[in-house]
Every structure is written in structure tokens, then in C-alpha cells.
Amino acid sequence: MNHAIILDIETIQTQRDDVAAYIAATVKPPATYKKPESIAAWHKEDGPQAIADAVAKTGLDGAFGQVVCIGYDLHDTGEPDAIYGLDERDVLTRFNAALDTIPRAMHNATTVVGHNVSGFDLRFLWQRYVVNGIRPHAIINAAAQAKSWDVKIYDTMTQFAGYGNRISLDKLCLALSIPSPKGDMDGSMVNQAVKDGRLLEVVEYCKRDVMATREIYRRMTFKDADQMRLVA
């Protein structure tokens, strides 16, 4: 039986001025704007917001965004742990150390579980390790390179909705009668919360996502039912 790690990350937009400048330079007015005065007016009135929106999207881009929190449960039970901070290199290094507590003999039998973990979390994490010049832990490296149907990954979104389809964590919780983890925060609010100095709120939100994902995983794999049969 594979050992399961429940994983969720929270990310923010780029904190690098050179990247923000690069993004800003790529933002252009709509192609329908032809007259110089119309283009100038767009740059003055709509350009700043268009640039801000484009920079905000780097929070979903592992090339430029930043990991501020990694929520995880290494044992599929109990209170999730979280590693967080604004020093991304420190966050990634400490997560490697946490994964080092898993015996090496279990690495090949470890499954990384998450909601859209194959489409976002694992790829983003792996990219940030590379950008920061830190070797990803063997477990993360193997899972990030695996296909979404590989035993090294259990993506609750893909498993439930089917390959290429989507279902939100909140909607899946509702379908399975599991309490929603969202509360007063969702992923779109993370960047502003961190900017406002409310990182600890983001951490709690991330940990709630881990707990919800863990319950979904247990339901979808009928783990609790199997344990009840063993007790009986």
C-alpha cells in the first residue's frame, strides 16, 4: 500500500521589479484601437489596471510567482502542518527537510495527494525549486514528472471529474457533504492578504484545504470503509 502525502500550496504574484517591468511591457491595448489618441487614452485610463491584472496572474505561473505557504500532512491523519514565510528559499528548504523524515525505502511507494495537484501544485513547486537553485526532494521531483494517472499522484479533481475536466474543491466538498474549507478566504484573496500582513490567515486557509482534501481522498478511496471492515 502506498504512503500518502496530502499537499496544498499558496502562492502570490511576482515580487521582482524586473519581472513586473517585463510583464508591463507586454501589455498592449486591444487591436481595435487604431488611432494614436485612442491608444494614448487607453494607456492613461485602462493601462495601469491591465498591467496590474497581468502581473497578478504571475501568482499562477511558476516561472515568476512565489510560494508563501506549503500545507501538508505526511501521515494522512491528525492536524496538518504548514511551512510558510516570505523567504521562498527558506520555505522550500524546510519543506525538503520535512520530507526527509519519510524513510528513503518508502519514497517509491509515496503518493502525493492534492486537488489539482498534478495541474498546479506539483508543477509550480518544482519550477520554484529550479528557479531558486534548490534541488527538489526526490518525492516531489518524481511526482512532478509523473503523469496525472501515475500511482505517484492522486489528484482528487482529475479522479472525480475525469481527465481534462474540472471541479472546484468547494463544489466537491458540497457533493460529498464535507465542510467547505473556504470560510472568509479563497485563492483569489491570498495575494492581497499577504500584502496586508495577514499571512497567518493564509496559513490557516491552506491547512483547511489540506484537511478537506484529506477527507475527500479518504472518501474516494473508501479508506474509512476498509478500516471499519477490518475492525469488524
> Is residue 55 in some structural domain?
no
> Is residue 57 in some structural domain?
no
Structural domain span for residue 182: 3-16+64-231
Other CB atoms within 10 Å distance of the CB of residue 69: 24
Percentage of residues in the chain having pLDDT higher than 90 = 78
> Is residue 215 in some structural domain?
yes
> Is residue 175 in some structural domain?
yes
Segment 124-143, tens digit of pLDDT: 999 999 999 999 999 999 99
> Is residue 52 in some structural domain?
no
CA distance 91 to 16: 18
13, 187 contact by CB (below 8 A) = no
Segment 43-92, tens digit of pLDDT: 999 999 999 999 999 999 999 999 999 999 998 778 899 999 999 999 99
> Is residue 47 in some structural domain?
no
Other CB atoms within 10 Å distance of the CB of residue 86: 12
Q: Is the pLDDT of residue 228 over 60?
A: no
> Is residue 202 in some structural domain?
yes
pLDDT of residue 148: 76
The model's pTM is 0.92
Identify the CATH number of the domain in which residue 202 sits. 3.30.420.10
Q: How many domains does the chain have?
A: 1
> Is residue 46 in some structural domain?
no
Of 185, 5, 6, 202, the C-alpha closest to 86 is 202
